[in-house]
Amino acid sequence: MKRLLVAGLLGSVLLSSPAAAQTAAQDLPAILKPLGLTDVEIRPKHGDRGRDILGTLPGGARIEIELDRNDRVEEIEAADRQGFPASGVESLIPEAVRANPSYPGDGTFRKVEFDDREIELEGTHHDGRRFEAEFLPTGELRKIENR
């Protein structure tokens, strides 16, 4: 029994080690590699519905990324109320959206949702005003609410 307990504890230490985190980072889909995530945790969803990726952006913001079963990004969400810099996930935002003058590229995002029809952004402008915006993948602004 003691051997089993020691083996279990050793296994949990090894899984939480930097080497395990590095292995998790190596298991990221190619689309997420440009984000430079560290402290990566990969959690499978129930059934065959994809997986959740938790990681830390280079600036220190902790995010959760939901992937579908084909490793397409469905959602990025801040792991805390501080949000994450728009620049930290810019590689995932279509160029046409980033080129739109209404795109809050100097802001902080709390959530980004992707689907085939639109990209939804929630966050805070650089001046502290909150926003919710919807863009078409072609870059056209559908709606923006500033508060």
132 in a structural domain? yes
pLDDT at 26: 75
How far is C-alpha 6 from the chain's CA centre?
Answer: 35
125 in a structural domain? yes
18 in a structural domain? no
- Residue 37: CB partners within 8 Å, gap ≥ 6? 25, 28, 53, 55, 56, 57, 63
Domain count, the chain: 1
95 in a structural domain? yes
25 in a structural domain? no
pLDDT at 49: 85
pLDDT at 4: 44
pLDDT at 134: 98
14 in a structural domain? no
pLDDT at 43: 93
pLDDT at 70: 93
Helix-strand-coil split of the chain, %, nearest 5: 30, 35, 35
**CATH code for the domain in which residue 54 is found:** 3.40.1420
How far is C-alpha 20 from the chain's CA centre?
Answer: 20
pLDDT at 18: 46
Q: What is the pTM of this model?
A: 0.81
pLDDT at 25: 66
pLDDT at 50: 92
Cα–Cα dist 134/48, whole Å:
29
Residue numbers of the domain that contains 55: 30-146
Beta bridge partners of 134: 120, 143
* The token pair that represents 123 in the structure block: 């966050």
Mean pLDDT per block of 10 residues along the chain (147 residues) reads 45 46 71 96 86 97 96 96 95 98 97 96 96 98 94
121 in a structural domain? yes
Contact 63, 75 (CB under 8 A): no
11 in a structural domain? no
Q: What are phi and psi of 144, to 5 degrees?
A: -145, 135
pLDDT at 30: 94
